Amino acid sequence: MAVQIRKLDSTAPDFKQTLSSLLAFEAETDDAIESSVAKILADVKHRGDAAVLEYTNKFDRIPNGGASSMAAFDIRQDELDAALAAIPEAQRNALRTAAERIRVFHERQKQELNGFTFTEPDGTVLGQRVTPLDRVGIYVPGGKAAYPSSVLMNAIPAKVAGVQEIVMVVPTPDGVKNQMVLGAAAIAGVTRVITIGGAQAVGALAYGTETIPAVDKIVGPGNAYVAAAKRRVFGVVGIDMIAGPSEILVLCDGTTDPDWIAMDLFSQAEHDELAQAILLCPDADYIARVEASIHKLLPTMPRHETITTSLTDRGALVKVRDMEEACAIANDIAAEHLEVSAEDPLKWADRIRHAGAMFLGRFSSESLGDYCCGPNHVLPTSRTARFSSPLGVYDFQKRSSVIQVSEQGAQTLGKVAAELAYGEGLQAHARSAELRIKS
Amino acid sequence: MAVQIRKLDSTAPDFKQTLSSLLAFEAETDDAIESSVAKILADVKHRGDAAVLEYTNKFDRIPNGGASSMAAFDIRQDELDAALAAIPEAQRNALRTAAERIRVFHERQKQELNGFTFTEPDGTVLGQRVTPLDRVGIYVPGGKAAYPSSVLMNAIPAKVAGVQEIVMVVPTPDGVKNQMVLGAAAIAGVTRVITIGGAQAVGALAYGTETIPAVDKIVGPGNAYVAAAKRRVFGVVGIDMIAGPSEILVLCDGTTDPDWIAMDLFSQAEHDELAQAILLCPDADYIARVEASIHKLLPTMPRHETITTSLTDRGALVKVRDMEEACAIANDIAAEHLEVSAEDPLKWADRIRHAGAMFLGRFSSESLGDYCCGPNHVLPTSRTARFSSPLGVYDFQKRSSVIQVSEQGAQTLGKVAAELAYGEGLQAHARSAELRIKS
């Protein structure tokens, strides 16, 4: 199958509608998955460890007839350290460099949120406290799509926030452990690693079992069962966003090496067949050169089949009127990853209101950000950058309001509160305020 | 029916379990509501205004045979201004005072989140931008439980955040408009008011119709249909938390007038029969005095029936060993509202890790915070204060990461990224980084 990436023109009368259908992605609800997940969660909630043990032995095909107790799934710290020591030195150093840069960036995020207190003339004190969550769970997929970079990106912000207990779950299908993932856990400061996965792991983290303490929030990517389970336990615990397919939108003024842009589009498309890569450019000749680069470079890619399907089904090369229009379209798309590959990237970036992460200038390939620039690679997908943010330290903190009304303050505030409370028909509210007013 | 508030003792062997069952609240999923809401949302998504018009005429019993077009549901600015002019002066002044205090507190919140940028020695620039949402929808319940204070608490943070369009929907059953609610909308700076409600209003805000633009986030309380609809559109738009019943936890050292504490418990219990009011105190004699106050004051309360049911079914007076233990229990409960009514409230507040809002000192009744102290009254319920925050300016802002890698930065970062990308089997990621490295 040859790649056939569609070419659009923003001046076409049906452009808006074509783009809209191209962007449309609705996660389908699979009733079989939903009912299976509901059953597993209920079972874990009521039977605890026994249920987790059974499901794990079965679904992950644990060898030698399965584990006989939950203790078999705990990975001790010395095993994590050994995994880190066992991987190639270049990988270990790269993980360490990435982790340190991620830590530095997220420390900067933490500095921004300190809480505040102010005192009014009558002595009333108002404020906001910021505190870390006590305990969080991090879901890490196992098997083929095992990403050590995700371990760093999910665990380090929690660590920086001051979370005391970081419990990582990672399934080990057929009992196979990924050493790079375990090494990343050692570097990131995960406090406990349990080799369980699926809806049963989400249930164990949400409700707690005899051996696994209930957490306050669960983050991290997973398959359809994990996503369904996270949706269902939301409210009992916090969750991060349920991610859709990954996307990149490249705005290019036609001055970047077309091979670079083609490879940037591939780097998104290779994730999976539903991933989306779109280029906006005002220069038709340049678009043709990118297309030529795509055809030239694609055969060199080990994941060319996935890339071909993704680009053919969901990709586009869009000729726009000018870079101003490209920015306006980018605001409608609200992309997860936005590359501004142009001579004066800041000029265009200033017009962007919605994007998960912006990669400015031709040296800022998305792949650098995915691994080691420092900002998080967990980003809002499917246009949710209109209202949500990258995963960050703030996701592992919460705020509490602090209200300390002085005796004098209660005299004036009490009258205002009572007036409004009576207006709403809430008389105990009014009386509670009035009791504090001196007669 | 006489009030029978349970009395617990923390030294009882089954105390932990008793408290746990008392706190347990699971919102039931009503299949009839779910399927009705799914149908309404699909209908609004596909038929737009026509569906909203039909459902509104029917469910809200719009008089005179119903409205003939959506235009009938729009309230013009001059009607909002007239409503504000028509309510009693004391109410108008109270609303204005409350609004100004809420604005001042939330401006302080906004100052804390400015984004940041830093430049590395090789010229690479990293940062985080903070931008407001474009357009938000605020759901305000109509009919009997119409709360102008909720209009202020939901709209003002959005306004302070810099949201340009604030669309408020409020149903008017039988065509009856609440003048105080409309007056509050005028004060809060709501940009459009539409008298529609229910799942059809949530659908219109989420998907947009011919006359109603799609918003980026929907906030505000509503009945079971509204809550179910918000859950379903989550992802298409952002939503605030789905609130459970309201709760207060009072920690008292026995030095506050027991009438005050009794009334504070009532002020929570009068909300609805599922509301929860709990007192923790180390002094058994004082608890008896609060109980006597409850019996004395309850008959004076217009909403005594609701209060009686709430206190009997879900309330408790708990004798604890000491204030230290009270703080530990408070951290387990993670209450929406936490009053620390004690001689030295800060001493105890410093031990609290989880609470939506803390009311410190005996003059800080929750009712003052509900209306006019300044902090938000939309707070995390049902133990979700372990991982979530009061509604705030930050709920109407989002962050974007900014990554501008210098040519020099791409040389070092590219090697790290490529190493990790090859380790994860993502070769296009690796090549995209390597293309930027000078050979």
Nearest to B134 among A361, A386, A414 (CB): A386
User: What is d(CA B363, CA B256) in angstroms, rounded to the nearest whole number?
Assistant: 9
Nearest to A400 among B95, B113, B358 (CB): B358
User: What is each CA distance from A33 to A37, B1, B8, B249, in whole angstroms?
Assistant: 6, 47, 43, 40
- Under 8 Å CB-to-CB from A26, ≥6 apart: which residues? none
Closest by alpha carbon to A102, among A48, A35, A148?
Answer: A148
Q: Any binding-site annotation on B49?
A: no
User: What is d(CA B327, CA A300) in angstroms, rounded to the nearest whole number?
Assistant: 63
For tokens 């929690």, name the residue: A158
Backbone angles phi, psi at B435, to 5 degrees: -60, -25
User: What is d(CA A397, CA B255) in angstroms, rounded to the nearest whole number?
Assistant: 33
Closest chain B residue to A29, measured at CA: B232
Closest by alpha carbon to B397, among B111, B128, B155, B131?
Answer: B131
Helix (H), strand (E) at residue A137:
strand A135-139
Distance to chain A for B6, nearest Cα, Å: 21
Cβ of A76: how many Cβ atoms within 10 Å?
10
B89 tagged catalytic: no
User: What is d(CA A341, CA A334) in angstroms, rounded to the nearest whole number?
Assistant: 17
**Alpha-carbon dihedral angle through residues A349, A351, A355, A358, given to the nearest 10 degrees:** 0
- Asked if B401 lies within 8 A of A369 by C-beta distance, the reply is yes
Touching check for B410 and chain A: CB below 8 Å?
yes
> For residue A175, with 0-12 CB atoms within 10 Å meaning exposed, 13-18 middle and 19 or more buried, which class applies?
middle
Interface of A with B in 160-199 (CB under 8 A): 180
**Alpha-carbon dihedral angle through residues B406, B411, B416, B418, given to the nearest 10 degrees:** 110
- Asked if A435 lies within 8 A of B257 by C-beta distance, the reply is yes
User: What is d(CA A344, CA B355) in angstroms, rounded to the nearest whole number?
Assistant: 47
Cβ of B34: how many Cβ atoms within 10 Å?
15
Give the distance, in angstroms, between the CA of residue B248 and the centroid of all CA atoms in the same chain.
Answer: 15
Model confidence pLDDT, tens digit, residues B165-183: 999 999 999 999 999 999 9
Touching check for B402 and chain A: CB below 8 Å?
yes
User: What is d(CA B128, CA B69) in angstroms, rounded to the nearest whole number?
Assistant: 45
Backbone angles phi, psi at A7, to 5 degrees: -115, 125
- Starting at the edge strand found earlier in the chain, the sheet holding A217-219 runs A74-75, A192-194, A165-169, A135-139, A217-219, A238-239
What is the per-residue pLDDT for B27?
Answer: 66
Q: Any binding-site annotation on A424?
A: yes
Task: State the catalytic residue, choosing from B270, B336, B339, B366.
Answer: B336
Helix (H), strand (E) at residue A244:
none
User: What is d(CA A59, CA A195) in angstroms, rounded to the nearest whole number?
Assistant: 12
Chain B contact probe: residue of A97, A118, A367, A395 with most B CBs at under 10 A: A367
Closest by alpha carbon to A253, among A215, A225, A221, A282?
Answer: A282
Is the CB of residue A301 less than 8 Å from the CB of residue A341?
no
Model confidence pLDDT, tens digit, residues B398-420: 999 999 999 999 999 999 999 99
What integer is the mean pLDDT of B25-42? 86
Q: Is the pLDDT of residue B211 over 80?
A: yes
What is the per-residue pLDDT for B190?
Answer: 97
The structure tokens listed for A310 are: 């993704």
Model confidence pLDDT, tens digit, residues A283-297: 999 999 999 999 999
Q: Any binding-site annotation on A377?
A: no
The region of weakest confidence among A96-105, A417-426, B143-152, B244-253 is B143-152
Closest by alpha carbon to A252, among A280, A290, A291, A285?
Answer: A280
Closest by alpha carbon to A147, among B420, B339, B221, B413?
Answer: B420
Radius of gyration of chain A (CA): 26
DSSP state for residue A274 in the 8-state scheme: T
User: What is d(CA A102, CA B268) in angstroms, rounded to the nearest whole number?
Assistant: 44
Crossing angle of helices B179-188 and B148-161, rounded to 10°: 20
Interface size between A and B, measured as CB pairs under 8 A: 378
Q: Are strands A135-139 and A165-169 parallel, antiparallel or unpaired?
A: parallel
Please report residues of A whose CB lies closer than 8 A to that of B237: 387
Q: Any binding-site annotation on A109?
A: no
Closest by alpha carbon to A43, among A31, A30, A56?
Answer: A56
Higher confidence at residue B223 or residue A167? Answer: A167
Coil, strand, or helix at residue A328? helix
User: What is d(CA A123, CA A404) in angstroms, rounded to the nearest whole number?
Assistant: 9
User: What is d(CA A203, CA A205) in angstroms, rounded to the nearest whole number?
Assistant: 5
Q: How confident is the model at residue B24 (pLDDT cuts 50, 70, 90)?
A: confident
What is the per-residue pLDDT for A417?
Answer: 98
Q: Is the dihedral of CA B284, B287, B292, B293 positive or negative?
A: positive
Write out the catalytic residue numbers of A: 336-337
User: What is each CA distance from B332 to A396, A411, B328, B353, in whole angstroms?
Assistant: 18, 33, 7, 9
Largest CA distance in chain B: 87
Domains of chain B: 6-15+244-373 (3.40.50.1980), 31-239 (3.40.50.1980), 405-434 (no CATH)
Interface of A with B in 301-360 (CB under 8 A): 301-303, 307, 345-346, 349, 352-360
Q: Is the dihedral of CA A108, A112, A113, A114 positive or negative?
A: positive
Mean pLDDT by 10 residues, chain A (439 residues): 92 96 80 93 98 97 93 96 97 98 98 95 98 98 84 98 98 94 97 97 98 97 92 92 89 98 97 95 98 97 96 97 98 97 96 98 97 97 95 98 98 98 96 94
Closest by alpha carbon to B268, among B102, B105, B381?
Answer: B381
User: What is each CA distance from B120 to A17, A37, A373, in whole angstroms?
Assistant: 43, 47, 11
Distance to chain A for B414, nearest Cα, Å: 6
Q: Is the pLDDT of residue B26 over 90?
A: no
Helix (H), strand (E) at residue B236:
none
User: What is d(CA A397, CA A424) in angstroms, rounded to the nearest whole number?
Assistant: 34
Interface of B with A in 225-264 (CB under 8 A): 235, 237-238, 242, 257, 259-260, 263-264
Please report residues of B whose CB lies closer than 8 A to that of A414: 368
Q: Is the pLDDT of residue B144 over 70?
A: no
Query: Where does B60-88 have alpha helices with state H?
Result: 77-86
Backbone angles phi, psi at A296, to 5 degrees: -70, -45
Model confidence pLDDT, tens digit, residues B61-114: 999 889 999 999 999 999 999 999 999 999 999 999 999 999 999 999 999 999
Model confidence pLDDT, tens digit, residues B278-293: 999 999 999 999 999 9
Buried/exposed code over B359-377 (b: 16+ C-beta within 10 A; e: otherwise):
bbbbbbbbbbbbbbbbbbb
Is the CB of residue A234 less than 8 Å from the CB of residue A202?
no
Direct distance between the N- and C-terminal alpha carbons of chain B, in angstroms, rounded to an integer = 86
DSSP state for residue B48 in the 8-state scheme: T
> For residue B115, with 0-12 CB atoms within 10 Å meaning exposed, 13-18 middle and 19 or more buried, which class applies?
middle
- Asked if B424 lies within 8 A of A134 by C-beta distance, the reply is no
Buried/exposed code over B416-438 (b: 16+ C-beta within 10 A; e: otherwise):
bbbbbbbbbebbbbbbbbbbbee
Mean pLDDT of the residues in chain B = 95
User: What is each CA distance from B147 to B154, B185, B301, in whole angstroms?
Assistant: 11, 11, 20
Q: How confident is the model at residue B439 (pLDDT cuts 50, 70, 90)?
A: confident
In A190-240, DSSP assigns E strands to: 192-194, 217-219, 238-239
Cβ of B173: how many Cβ atoms within 10 Å?
14
Please report residues of A whose CB lies closer than 8 A to that of B419: 90-91, 93-94
What is the per-residue pLDDT for A25?
Answer: 79
Closest chain A residue to B266, measured at CA: A428
> For residue B101, with 0-12 CB atoms within 10 Å meaning exposed, 13-18 middle and 19 or more buried, which class applies?
buried
